[in-house]
């Protein structure tokens, strides 16, 4: 099986696994919500066009086309506006409140999620995370207890007959070739190496380490054969072997994946890709649905009347198909650009998944609102081009000071990069002290701005209350 086929199969398997994980995650939300009386009209796996659904009771269960997420719809997630503090007409908050309560009838208002007590809300919101945690523990236990871990042991599966004159040729032994040290010492297939030159060994890594430590001097080797221990003397010899990469080039530095089998390499790379996508999807969903409400109380204490300052990702749950179209278009465009860059001998890096997702998703939402799915595709392509060329240009700016920022290819750095470069030149002579000065100045400005805004907010709130009393 080639690496390409293994990679594709790994992605397919992991997408299915992500779908099942999402299904269990959403069940962790739905089951306690129904138990507490919350109305749940929809439970779906995936986004985009509906493939299949069935209604049981008041809940519709189904599967959608894009299997990279899912959702459970709990009515009344956003409470109505407080008396005397109506939302601006046609604002995002007003639309969210109206949509949250629209499907609840006059006699069902008590079934809204916001009416639950705080402990019950925490149980519902934490149910998904706890379900995934339990699933992870179960799968890990099965993997370790039933399947086990693959590892090289100290038992010999083969013994070389000779040391060929040309090690790289890997051909059959010639008459002129000297016997291998293992064959000359009498080692056989199935022998378990118990110790090498006095060093106990239970794994192949320990055997290799003991061989390197002994060098070419005669070493006493204890092996177990047919239930009996035998002591043999092995005199190792040094040979030079050339290591080649997948493209036929000579490897001069050992990399972590160079000794990995092609099939396992494919699955590992697929796992990394799928894990990145899962982190993005789960991260955005958890941030919007679970973490943001938790910080509302803190913001209200510091700045009465404040609202969370959230960017375009707040609309991602409302336009999941446009988000995925924009993200996929951005990623494909970026990969094509990297291929062109590599072929031309230019600089190329791996795709910045975070920026491709957030930037591409936002571009897909704006594009879809302007020109439908074609606009979503165009927005994603444009974002991919910006990130590809921005990464290429940004590396030249920041590689000497902060390469991790250049490789991230965050468009924000394109706008404020020159400011930071200028500050770096100004405080260059101060060394580490300059960093403390900049940090302290930023902290002072931030605290002062917060205090000023809070004072104005308190005055505004008090003025509104006074006006209400006058009326």
State which H helix or E strand residue 279 sits in.
Answer: helix 262-286
The Cα angle at residue 128 between residues 127 and 129, in degrees rounded to 5: 95
Q: How far apart are the first and last CA of the chain?
A: 79
CA distances from 425 to 271, 404, 415 (A): 42, 19, 18
Pull the structure tokens for residue 440: 């302290």
| Catalytic hit among 26, 229, 462, 467 | 26
171 vs 163: CA distance, rounded Å:
11
Strand, helix or coil at 163? strand
Residues near 52 by beta carbon (within 8 Å), at least 6 away in sequence: 62, 63
| Strand ranges inside 16-97, DSSP E | 42-56, 59-73
449 vs 150: CA distance, rounded Å:
57
State which H helix or E strand residue 235 sits in.
Answer: strand 228-235
SS3 sequence, 186-216?
Answer: CCCCCCEEEEECCEECCEHHHHHHHHHHHCC
267 within 8 A of 12, measured Cβ to Cβ = no
Active site residue 26: yes
72 vs 113: CA distance, rounded Å:
13
211-220 long-range contacts (CB < 8 A, ≥24 apart) are 211/236
Pull the structure tokens for residue 297: 């109380």
| Residues designated as active site | 26
């Amino acid at each position: 099986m080639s690496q390409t086929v293994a990679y594709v199969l790994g992605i397919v398997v992991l997408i299915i696994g992500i779908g099942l994980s999402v299904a269990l995650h959403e069940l962790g939300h739905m089951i306690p919500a129904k138990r507490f009386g919350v109305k749940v009209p929809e439970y779906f796996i995936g986004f985009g066009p509906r493939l299949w659904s069935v209604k049981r009771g008041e809940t519709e269960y189904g599967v959608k086309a894009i299997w990279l997420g899912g959702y459970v719809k709990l009515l009344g997630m956003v409470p109505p506006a407080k008396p005397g503090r109506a939302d601006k007409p046609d604002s995002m908050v007003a639309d969210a409140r109206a949509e949250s309560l629209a499907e609840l009838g006059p006699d069902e208002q008590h079934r809204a999620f916001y009416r639950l007590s705080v402990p019950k809300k925490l149980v519902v919101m934490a149910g998904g995370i706890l379900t995934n945690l339990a699933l992870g523990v179960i799968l890990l236990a099965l993997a370790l207890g039933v399947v086990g871990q693959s590892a090289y042991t100290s038992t010999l599966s083969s013994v070389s007959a000779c040391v060929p004159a040309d090690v790289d040729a890997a051909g059959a032994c010639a008459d002129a070739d000297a016997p291998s040290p293992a064959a000359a010492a009498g080692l056989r297939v199935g022998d378990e190496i118990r110790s090498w030159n006095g060093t106990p060994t239970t794994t192949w890594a320990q055997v290799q380490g003991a061989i390197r430590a002994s060098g070419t001097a005669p070493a006493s080797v204890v092996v177990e054969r047919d239930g009996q221990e035998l002591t043999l003397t092995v005199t190792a010899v040094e040979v030079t072997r050339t290591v080649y990469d997948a493209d036929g080039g000579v490897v001069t530095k050992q990399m972590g994946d160079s000794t990995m089998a092609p099939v396992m390499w494919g699955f590992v790379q697929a796992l990394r890709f799928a894990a990145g996508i899962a982190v993005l999807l789960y991260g955005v969903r958890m941030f919007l649905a679970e973490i943001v409400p938790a910080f509302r109380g803190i913001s209200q204490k510091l700045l009465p009347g404040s609202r969370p300052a959230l960017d375009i990702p707040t609309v991602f749950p409302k336009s999941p198909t446009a988000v995925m179209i924009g993200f996929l278009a951005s990623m494909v465009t970026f990969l094509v650009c990297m291929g062109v860059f590599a072929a031309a001998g230019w600089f190329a890096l791996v795709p910045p998944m975070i920026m491709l997702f957030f930037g591409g998703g936002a571009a897909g939402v704006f594009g879809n609102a302007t020109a439908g799915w074609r606009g979503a595709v165009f927005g994603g392509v444009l974002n991919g081009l910006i990130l590809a060329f921005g990464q290429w240009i940004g590396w030249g700016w920041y590689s000497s000071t902060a390469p991790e920022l250049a490789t991230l290819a965050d468009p924000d750095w394109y706008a404020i990069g020159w400011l930071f470069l200028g500050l770096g030149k100004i405080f260059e002579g101060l060394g580490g002290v300059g960093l403390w000065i900049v940090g302290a100045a930023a902290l002072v400005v931030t605290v002062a701005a917060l205090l000023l805004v809070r004072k104005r907010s308190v005055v505004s709130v008090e003025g509104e209350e006074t006006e209400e009393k006058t009326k």
